[in-house]
Structures are given as structure tokens and as C-alpha cells.
Amino acid sequence: MNLLQIIYEKDLTGFENMSGLKAIIILLGLQHQLVFAFSDIYEPDNKRDQANILYINNDQRQQHTLHSLTDQDWFKFYANELDTYEISLKHGADIDPIIQIYNETSLIEEKKQGDWNAPSQGFYYFKVIDQNTKEMPCRKEIQYELEINTGGKPTFYGQIQGYIRDAIYGDSVEDVVISNSCRRNYFVPSDKNGHYILPSNKGNCELIAEKEAYKPIICNVEIPELTPIQVNLALLPIDQKIPTPFTFKQTYHRGERLHVEIDSKLLSPQTCVRYYFGIGYPNGRLFIIADKNKLELLNPNAPIAWISNDNILIDMPINETMPNGEYKLYILRSAETIEQALKNIHKGEWNVGTFKIN
């Protein structure tokens, strides 16, 4: 008996109404029979660390396949112990899928569908496998749709989405738990790219982003009806201090050019925080820097936040108005909801660097 196996990649359009589907078509010629197996567009997801986000109460259907007898698909979501979840699994006639439910460490339950309650609040994983281990001459109906909803599925009127990154290194941050006050006890995680989508009721809402090893961030956002809004966030690691503005050299001399800048990753587009920069002179004068080369004497009651997209704070010749001695460079990172940031400096993150003029 001869077995011919031809494996090739091809771009398909219009398959199952999904334009641009990238599929691996495996043609198995066994006597006079052909077996067609399609990998879905969510592959690779055969391992726990490749799990796709399963959004709760999501009306957008995801069509997956169990394209081989050994195929397994992993999903993850963030569950609240106060809710009862309705699990729905619709599938084709040639597969018999079952859901294995895991917590962060181990398998806790197997389920086909129906109501489910999380033992505690946190991340959970679904592993979908095929119970049908019988070889079939032609497995065509291998698609399935997995859905999870809370009882009394709410109607959402708005949506927040955005990207979350590390404030120091600029990397995407996965598994940040996002919630807001306009839809309490509803949580979504960020994906591998730091992206999140949070359905919400409209109104002025308190948005919260939390992840272990990072300092939480809270901000107020106005969520309009129907129109999605973009809210990008940057989280500061707990064990890291905010980097100070820096100079190209530690000691300058009169007539040289003073250059002060900040790491550009700190200033990439984000919401919910303001940055304040200052320079302290040896004679005790303190200036706020609101824009490049724009130094204004500090008014503690009305400090001006950084308004520029530029990461260069100062680039100017050292002149007679700058006395010799040690200078201090200040940075304050404060939530935009905090009024009078300097009087509430303990609620933000701050740091100080130095340089000298001789």
C-alpha cells in the first residue's frame, strides 16, 4: 500500500467567508481516498504558553478546527469567582471535543458545556481536544466555536482598547488585567502584543490595569456610546525607579553646549500619566521644563507638565547665567488625576540625577 503525502502552503480567499485565510493543506492519498485537514488562523496554539485570549460575552465568533486527532487548542481568560459562566461548544459532526479546564498550575475539571464557576478569581485555561480517536477516511466537519458568557449577558454600549507596555524597557506586557468601574467584576487580559479590548458601559469610568511585579495604574476615561476609544498604558515595574534625565557628560565647562534628554521610551504615546521635569541650580533656584529649552521658575501650586513629543529637554550653550556648581535634574511621573502633583509627590514616582558645571 503506497502513501503519498504532499504538504504545501497556499493563500486561500473566501473559504468559510474568511478572506485571506492562511491554511496548510495536507493531501493524503491512501488508495483512492483523500483527507483534507485545515489548520485554523489561530495556530499555533497547541501549548499553554501559546493560548489565545477567550473574551467573555463576546459577540464576534471565532471558528477553530481540530485538524488532526492529536491537535489541541489552548485558550485563556480571567474569571471572577462571583459570576456563573455559561460555556457553549458547537462543533462539526466529525469531531467530539471536550474542554479541559486548568488553573495556573493544574487540571481542575473536564466539561463539554454548561454552567461553570471559578473556584477563585484569576487566570484560567481551556484546552480543547478531540475525544474521537477513531481514524476516519474523510474528516471534513472539524470546525468548532467556543463561547463563554456570564448569566444575563449584558448589553455593552462602548469599548476601550489599547496597548500596554513596560514604562522602562518599552516591551509589550502580556496578562495585564484590565477592568473599569462602569462594568464591575468584568476583567480582560492583555494578549502577547500587549493589546486589550474591554467592552464597557458608557460614562466617566475609572480604568484599572494590574499585573504582579508592576505598579497598578488608575485613570479616568470618558467612554462614549458606540464609538471605541484608544487608551494606551505604560506600567512601571515595582523593582525599578523611573530613569532620570541624563547628560552626555558628567562635568561641563563654560562655553560648551549643555545637552539633557530623557529616554524616548518613557514618552511614547500613552494615557493616564503626566511627566514633570525640573532643573535645580547650585544657587537654589528651581526651574520647571515644560518644553525643549523652555525653563520657567517653578510655581509649586501650578507646575507645568511636559507638553512636547520630543525627548530632548535642554540643548543650549552654557552662558554666564548658569553658575558653577552641582545641578540637579528631576523627574516626576504622576497620574493625570492627581491635582497639584508636587504637593502629592508621594503618590507618584520621582527620581533625581546630577551634573556639574566648572
Under 8 Å CB-to-CB from 73, ≥6 apart: which residues?
42, 45, 46, 52, 64, 66, 127, 128
- How much is the pLDDT for 195? 96
**Burial of 25: CB neighbours in 10 Å, binned 0-12, 13-18, 19+:** middle
Find, among 239, 72, 105, 254, the residue nearest to 166 by Cα: 239
Find, among 171, 184, 167, 227, the residue nearest to 202 by Cα: 227
Q: Is the distance from CB of 68 to CB of 142 less than 8 angstroms?
A: no
The CA distance from 130 to 72, in Å, is 8
- How much is the pLDDT for 152? 57
- How much is the pLDDT for 279? 97
- In order of their start, the domains of the chain are 44-150 (2.60.120.380), 158-235 (2.60.40.1120), 246-357 (2.60.40)
- How much is the pLDDT for 137? 67
Find, among 261, 304, 267, 312, the residue nearest to 286 by Cα: 304
Mean pLDDT for back-to-back runs of 10 residues, the chain (358 residues): 34 40 36 48 86 85 86 94 90 93 95 93 95 77 91 70 93 95 87 92 90 92 87 93 94 95 86 93 96 94 90 94 96 89 91 96
- How much is the pLDDT for 4? 31
Q: Name the DSSP class of 306.
A: P
